[in-house]
Amino acid sequence: MKFGRSWITRATILLIVLACTLATQNYVVANFPTVGRWINNRVRGFALSAARGFDDTARLGSIRGVWMSESGQQVMLRVWSDQLPGYLRGALFDAYLQGTWAAAADSQTLEPADTHHGRNVFSFTARQPDRINGHVYADSSLRHVFFLPLGTHQISSFADSVNVARGWTARPNFPGASGGYGYYQPVSPMRGPTDLDLAVPPLLQSKLQSIADQIVGDTAGPAAIIKRIEQHFHQNYEYEFNMELRTNKDPVIEFLEDKDAGYCEYFASAATLLLRTQDIPARYVTGFVAHEPSLDNNYWIARNRDAHAWVEAYLPDQGWVIVEPTTPAARPQSNTSSTRAQFADWFAAQWQRLLQFITRGGLGGMIAALWDGLIVLMTQIIPLWAWGVLIAAAALWSTRSRIRKWWARKRAAPQPPHILALQRKLTLAQNLLDPHGLTLAPGDTVADYLDAAAAADIPEPARIEAVQLLTEYQHDRFHPPTDDSPPAPDIG
């Protein structure tokens, strides 16, 4: 058997490919966290745009991906509520592993327990609320998730059924969260924690325990420990939007050991795991912070830039409470948009509600929505001084012809006495003839007007006096008085 150069070339290429494959495999195994982060960054535009950190898993950086979008100013949630909604939970996570949080797969499907204003009502517990606490209208890209305040135990939605997960986070089934949804909050606390709220990755247990013990020191009591961990991040860390990880350590460990700045996902992840090492049940939560008031102060706004991650911890005497380890500079800011942007959003919000009322409430719902929007526009959007200006402008517009005539007379040069006398005679004749349908059309002459008056079938006294006035008008018009002539008689 003879072997040519072609066989040697192919064998060489095969050996090179095998060597590169083995080398790549060894590198990936040895540097798995770094490689995983690199792959995640490369596919961020595809994967994170769909997940947004509110699905069953949330990788660190997914909320940051929402901020980085070009539509950071886009309104994602509008919340009608009597009080500031604040933190609106979209997803709750239990297990952490190498930079990714995962939610426990223990959701249950709820069927409607009642109806309220055309929406189906779904109760997470047997408690019945006294009144609804708020309504949420979400952007179409978020209609697969309900964003609800902590403690919500009942919602009303057009969805056919609802999946409720541990911690009372909820997701709608068909047709989703379109049409807005209402939420109810109870007075009594939510159900207590489980073992999942204390789980720490075994490979990170010792390091996290050591770091937590150093931070907490001799602080005693769950509430004091929570406050101490919050203070640690507030006092020793800064906000850095473009924080990068440069080692093969777990992302949270690298953040705690090698960094002094970060953003909300790292603060919340680190605080959750540190609290768990101190036997304080805690969970990682993502959602939005709604704190920007609308133009009429009737609803609250959450934009893309308001996506956030925080912690919920359990205190035996209070139940679940919100923990905010993120430094103030890294939290969503309660900035007020420009007046122009607020006007635009107000009209967009009314249009959004109107469409939903038309779709779900029919003609009656549409009329109610239009009336509600008109009342708000008249009483809250447009101030009283503006209404005064509008009313004055309308009055001027309705009397514009009279104003123009008055202004023309005001600016006109003084007329000689005989011209004023002629004008008065013509006016008196018109006052006599107009009630009988004889008017001086723009194309008619006074001579035509006189002939029509003489032949008109109208009461004799009016006809005679009008003919006399018009005859005198014709005579005086073509025979004006001289300077030494006596003034024209005053005919009245």
Given a cut of 60, whether residue 254 has pLDDT beyond it is yes
Is there a single domain that holds both residue 293 and residue 427?
no
> How many domains does the structure of the chain reveal?
4
Instruction: Give the per-residue pLDDT at 384.
Output: 58
Q: DSSP for 6-72, please give it.
A: HHHHHHHHHHHHHHHHHHHHHHHHHTHHHHHHHHHHHTHHHHHHHHTT-SSEEETTHHHHHHHSTTT
Asked whether residue 407 is assigned to any structural domain, the reply reads no
Residue 128 within any structural domain of the chain: yes
pLDDT of residue 113: 85
Whether 346 and 332 share a structural domain: no
Residue 285 maps to a domain: yes
Quick one: 190 and 307 in the same domain? Answer: yes
Within a domain: 258: yes
Tens digit of each residue's pLDDT (9 = 90 or more) over 403-440: 777 776 666 656 677 777 878 888 888 888 888 888 88
Is residue 453 packed enough to be buried (19+ CB in 10 Å), middle (13-18) or exposed (0-12)?
A: buried
Q: Are 106 and 166 in contact (CB under 8 A)?
A: yes
Residue 228 domain-assigned (yes or no)? yes
Q: Which of 59-63, 118-122, 190-194, 334-338 has the highest mean pLDDT?
A: 59-63
8 Å CB contact between 123 and 113: yes
Residues 240 and 146 in one domain: yes
Whether 126 and 229 share a structural domain: yes
Environment class of 37 (CB within 10 Å of its CB; exposed 0-12, middle 13-18, buried 19+): buried
Instruction: Kindly compute the dihedral angle of the four CA atoms of residues 15, 19, 21, 27, in this order, to the nearest 10 degrees.
Output: 180
Query: What residue numbers bound the domain in which 179 lies?
Result: 44-336
Residues 83 and 219 both lie in one domain: yes
User: Do 69 and 23 have their domain in common?
Assistant: no
Edge-to-edge, what's the strand order for the sheet holding 162-164?
Answer: 108-110, 162-164, 170-172
> Average pLDDT in the 46-74 region?
70
Give the pLDDT mean for 399-406. Answer: 73
User: Distance (Å, rounded) from C-alpha 108 to C-alpha 165?
Assistant: 6
At residue 368 the predicted structure's pLDDT band, cuts being 50, 70 and 90, is low
Same domain (yes/no): 19, 58: no
- Asked whether residue 97 falls in the same domain as residue 165, the answer is yes
Residue 51 in any domain: the answer is yes
Say if residue 144 is in the same domain as residue 176.
yes
Which has the minimum average pLDDT: 21-25, 117-121, 426-430, 465-469? 21-25
* Residue 402 domain flag: no
Please tell me whether residues 185 and 264 are part of one structural domain: yes
What is the pLDDT, as a whole number, of residue 273?
A: 97
DSSP 197: G
Q: The whole model's pTM is what?
A: 0.63
Domain contains 406: no
Which range (113-122, 145-154, 305-314) has the least confidence? 113-122
Mean of the per-residue pLDDT values of the chain: 78
Per-residue confidence band for 32, with pLDDT thresholds at 50, 70 and 90: very low
What residues form DSSP beta bridges with 121?
114, 156
| Residues 118 and 243 occupy one common structural domain | yes
